[in-house]
A and B are shown apart, each in its own frame.
Chain A
Amino acid sequence: MSYDAIVAGGGHNGLVCAALLARAGRRVLVVERRERTGGILDGVVSTVGRLRPALVAELELERHGLELARPPIRMLALREGGAPVAFWADPGRTAEGLAAVSGADATAYPRFDAHVRVLARFLGELAEITPPRLDAGALGDWQAGLRLARAYRRLDSRSARELTRALPMAAADFVGEWFATDAVRAALAARGSLFTAMGPWSAGTTAVLLADSAGNDGGAAGQTAFATSGPAALAAAIESAATAAGATIRTRAEVARVLVRGGRVHGVALASGEEIEAPVVACGVDPKTVLTRWLDPEEAGPRLRWRAGNIRTPGATAVVDLRLSGPPAFSGVDDPQLLAGRIVVAPGIDHVERAFDCWKYGGLSERPYLEATISDGSMHVLAQWVPHDADPDAVGDLVVAELERHAPGIGSSVADRRVLTPALIERDFGLSGGHVYHAEPGLDQFFAWRPVLGLARYRLAVPGLYLCGSGAHPGGGVTGGPGQNAAREILAD
């Protein structure tokens, strides 16, 4: 059996790419190193709020078993020595609650929410296009430019100016211009730091924040959505869509090399030694892996290898799963509905920044910034910032200790726990540096220069080789965007 395309890496983006190629009539093989597809959906992330609605429709994911639940509460920000602040899908309701914290912040919130939506809408449109070429031959690329200009034109002139100002800003500054209360600022800004190696005072975290709200009705609080039978159900649905369209999935099939013959991609060689031929190889794995490990150094050339080696992949997020023997009791939370969304421990801007500071010098903060969700008697916690080689038990203990401050007694109800440090994420999920977003979403690895300038259009170095994972525009998060955009470019070629 020969294939038109091999998708290397069966994470959500790889599966999306495979499904779209298969639906366009290509014979597609997905090779996945692990025993299951799904990548980070299989144990790293718990929510899927950023998934592109258009993709759900196009792949008929609901028909393939996907069921999404969006709780009315988006985020619950725990505070020290005060009632938690609830951020609802309805900004008016959020404002009502904020009134107890600060009248000024309550007034500001709906306007801020609208502001975020306007800017995020532009980023949503940006996410859908293939970044334009930025070299002298770029004239042939007028379509991307035109689409970009059209999206920009839809902004009113004040918003257009604010957009150029907001993108490179530190999230702490961005929210600081709207809100007076530290707890409110931190709760809203912290999202710009999630999965990154940037504290809220780092320039460019506003871009991360806005991208997180792009194309998903996220607004100021960010979207919160769950696949009802767990995140893996999303992977299963995309896989089902892919196989229904004729794609073949092979798990426990680890790629070792990309085969190149006569300057063109020729297929992949598996770690087992088996070679599989195809004129197109789309990589759902991170770009550093592809360019520095899979591709023959002679094909890549020293210059590209140097650049690829410099792609920044500072993984700094740990995952702590806690199986609880009983429902946790959080101080000041009487309504269980409040715990149905993301539960955030980011009580102050400086508090979050200090956690980041520790990490800068290779340490682990005593007071990490946490984002947690609860489902089926388990608590799923993302913790920042955690050094690559941190001791998993120490991380687990710290996270439980931090939760204990807000939910006294939770520690004794932990029946079982599982900790993934960046090193373990790297090992188990094959992500360079353990970076969940494949490459740091800094301003230097953004849009037309993600992962590096010249390789942002999903085509990598050798004809036939493509990048369809989060290391490509529009980047990380469970959006399906890189997979969808890459499939479009592959089909166009």
Chain B
Amino acid sequence: MQERYDAIVIGGGHNGLVCAAYLARAGLRVVVLERRDVLGGAAVTEEIVPGFRFSVASYVVSLLRPEIVRDLELPRHGLAILPLDGTFTPLEGDHLWRLNDHGRTVRELRRWSLTDAEAYEEYGILMAQMARFIKPILSAVPGDQGRIRPAEWVSLAPLARRFAGLPRRQRDTFIQLMTMSAADFLDQWFETDPLKATMAASGIIGTFQGVRSPGTAYVLLHHYMGEIDGAFRAWGIPRGGTGGVSLAIASAARAQGAEIRTEAPVAAIDVRGGRAVGVTLRSGETIEADAVLSSADPRVTFLDLLEPGVLDGQFAADVRRYRFRGSSGKVNLALDGLPEFTCLPGRGEHLRGAISFSPSVDYMERAYDDAKYGRFSRRPYIDAIIPTLVDPAMAPPGKHVMSCFVQYAPYHLADGGAWDDAHRQAFRDTVVDTLAERAPNIRDLIVGEQVLSPLDIEQRIGLSEGNIFQGELSLEQLFFNRPVPGWARYRTPVHGLWMCGSAAHPGGGLMGAPGRIAALEHLRSRSSR
């Protein structure tokens, strides 16, 4: 069957699907090609243990762009976000528990520090202001900073103007957020160690950086961005797991006429005369199209799927130096009941939000130190949630699933070590030991499990080096340097080949922005042809 499409989207992760939906919505004939038998990429739900459904990789939705939800009418296609209330930090003989209810959180903080309780309010207001300021960047198309001509800088002009107009305090805070470490930034505000550690933790998720590494403060904002998206609740657990988001987008894409094929792994992007003209599947089937938009990461797209020699040496070298450095692993547990925390017994509300194993800033930093020298953290940071408490359908009645995001687990192990079964088992034991230290009954509850090392994430999901954001979200790999300096505008040196995954601006997270902007840029280039 030889069909010709306007566009092929490689990869059926959430960005690929968003991209396809927008292209189809504009009337293009689009096909999405997904390697696996399930859609979603890293935003995928799978029944790993019979009766237990896991959000295998990505586990919460935080920044899904409201315009995408609106444009694609995702709620109509089944998207529902269930609230994830609060963050519970279990400690030795005590706990720190922050809730969405501001009053209760402030009362809790007073237990720790009066000045922190006071500062928390002011901090929250300032962060919300900053989030509002920064949000438009998530929709902006970066220019090429290598050229002086104004056209390359227009995307920054409104930002610069708005920056200049900010009250001095917010200008100051913006600079700090872009340059400081999460720990240094929070040190200015708070004194309670577990509070700083737990807040700082959101700055290092998915990166190969510690809470004291400069450049990690910015991600503190993400939490607040979720909150200001208004009527639509953007911070929480999607019904049916994160795969539920992907399926809703897929349904929207199909409704617009996009074709979606699973178990259709792409073997090569076909290039003729310097133009991408289609793809060849591993089955040998070829599919032709005017354009190919790849949501796979740059290493896969440019080094695996393109014939060597298609790219000029400099670009290929720049792709090769693009840093992935996966740093996290995942332990998904099927539980017979609920964990009981020694510091706060009972099955109360504290289990309904995020459970953060982040007792102190030094604890977090030491976890990073281990990874720096090539081993998984002996005492890892764990961000756990129990989705069944808000979405009981994920497990049989009375049973639960627990998702544990674990950092750090470096992809590259020291001394030539590899992520073999022994390493994976040791990693799993470390995680369970860490959980059991605060909730001793957990060992007896485990009836099934799935352990993902960064290598597993690479092999299963297809993310190079297991980096959940398709490349480090470090300062030098953001905005006009993402993924390759001079090529941040979703285009590539191969005509007709585009990037639409998390390796493009504004980067990773269950956001959908790269897929959307890539689609809009592509449509713009077609109409101007």
Contact = CB atoms under 8 A, between A and B. Distances in A.
Which size class do B's interface residues fall under? Answer: 35 or more
A443 B485 contact: no
Contact of A453 (B145, B172, B485): B172
B474 A360 contact: no
B5 interface: no
Given A162-B485, A164-B485, A444 B146 contact: no
B476 A166 contact: yes
A353 B369 CA distance: 10
Interface in B176-219: 176, 178-180, 184, 188, 209, 212-215
Contact of B146 (A136, A160, A169, A360): A160
Contacts of A173: 323, 476
Interface in A437-465: 442-444, 446, 449, 452-454
Query: Which of A303, A353, A444, A449 is the most central at the interface, judged by chain B CB atoms within 10 Å of its CB?
Result: A444
A169 B213 CA distance: 11
B171 interface: yes
A453 B144 CA distance: 27
Interface stretch (A97-105, A196-204, A397-405, A419-427): A196-204
B476 A444 contact: no
A443 B214 contact: yes
B153 to A, nearest CB: 10
A149 B362 CA distance: 42
A135 interface: yes
Given A134-B164, A166-B476, A350-B373, A202 B175 contact: no
A27 interface: no
Contacts of A310: 188
B475 A361 contact: no
Interface in A185-204: 198, 201-204
A165 B215 contact: no
Interface string A397-416: 00000000000000000000
A149 B147 CA distance: 11
A444 B372 contact: no
Contacts of B144: 157, 161
B526 interface: no
Given A162-B485, A449-B175, A454-B168, A168 B180 contact: no
Contacts of A449: 172, 175, 179
Contact of A136 (B147, B165, B176, B486): B165
B164 A204 contact: no
Nearest to B320: A177
A152 interface: yes
Nearest to A449: B175
Nearest to A160: B146
B148 interface: yes
The SS class assigned to the B binding surface is helix
A164 B164 contact: no
B69 to A, nearest CB: 33
Contacts of A293: none
A360 B172 CA distance: 26
B272 interface: no
Nearest to A152: B148
A442 B214 contact: yes
A117 interface: no
Contacts of A57: none
B327 interface: no
The SS class assigned to the A binding surface is helix
Interface string A284-303: 00000000000000000001
Contact of A312 (B146, B165, B184): B184
A194 B373 CA distance: 22
B180 A442 contact: yes
B179 A169 contact: no
Interface string A346-362: 00001001100100110
A158 interface: yes
Given A158-B146, A173-B323, A202-B214, A444 B184 contact: yes
A446 B180 CA distance: 11
A63 interface: no
A138 interface: yes
Nearest to A149: B148
B477 to A, nearest CB: 8
B171 A165 contact: no
B179 A198 contact: no
Given A134-B164, A158-B146, A164 B215 contact: no
B321 A177 contact: yes
A93 interface: no
Interface string B326-343: 000000000000000000
A134 B214 contact: no
Nearest to B374: A350
Interface in A137-163: 138, 149, 152-153, 156-158, 160-162
A30 to B, nearest CB: 32
Contacts of A452: 172
B486 A157 contact: yes
A99 to B, nearest CB: 23
Given A149-B148, A204-B214, A443-B215, A135 B171 contact: yes
Contacts of A453: 168, 171-172, 175
A449 B180 CA distance: 12
B179 A442 contact: yes
Nearest to B479: A164
A307 interface: yes
Nearest to A164: B145
B365 A135 contact: no
A235 B485 CA distance: 44
B112 interface: no
A203 B475 contact: yes
A201 B372 CA distance: 9
Contacts of B147: 157, 160
A233 to B, nearest CB: 37
A310 B185 CA distance: 10
A305 B164 CA distance: 23
Contact of B163 (A134, A354, A361): A134
B480 interface: yes
Nearest to A156: B146
Nearest to B183: A360
Contact of B213 (A152, A156, A202): A202
B214 A169 contact: no
Contacts of B486: 157-158, 161
B179 A357 contact: no
A312 B212 CA distance: 13
A168 B184 contact: no
Interface in B334-367: 362, 365-366
Given A135-B168, A135-B171, A452-B172, A165 B213 contact: no
Contact of B214 (A160, A161, A198, A350): A198
Nearest to A443: B179
Contact of B172 (A138, A167, A202, A454): A454
A369 B365 CA distance: 21
A157 B487 CA distance: 13
A161 B175 contact: no
A173 B188 CA distance: 29
B188 A444 contact: no
30 contacts: A134-B164, A135-B171, A136-B164, A136-B165, A156-B146, A158-B486, A160-B145, A160-B146, A161-B480, A162-B485, A164-B485, A165-B481, A165-B485, A166-B476, A169-B476, A201-B372, A203-B476, A303-B169, A307-B172, A350-B372, A357-B369, A360-B212, A361-B366, A442-B179, A444-B214, A446-B179, A449-B179, A453-B168, A453-B172, A454-B171
Interface of B: 144-148, 163-165, 168-169, 171-172, 175-176, 178-180, 184, 188, 209, 212-215, 321, 323, 362, 365-366, 369, 372-373, 474-476, 480-481, 485-486
Given A167-B476, A204-B215, A310-B188, 8 more contacts: A160-B145, A164-B476, A173-B323, A203-B209, A203-B213, A354-B373, A442-B179, A442-B214
Shortest 8 CB-CB contacts between residues of A and residues of B: A157-B146, A168-B475, A161-B485, A443-B179, A444-B179, A161-B146, A203-B214, A444-B180
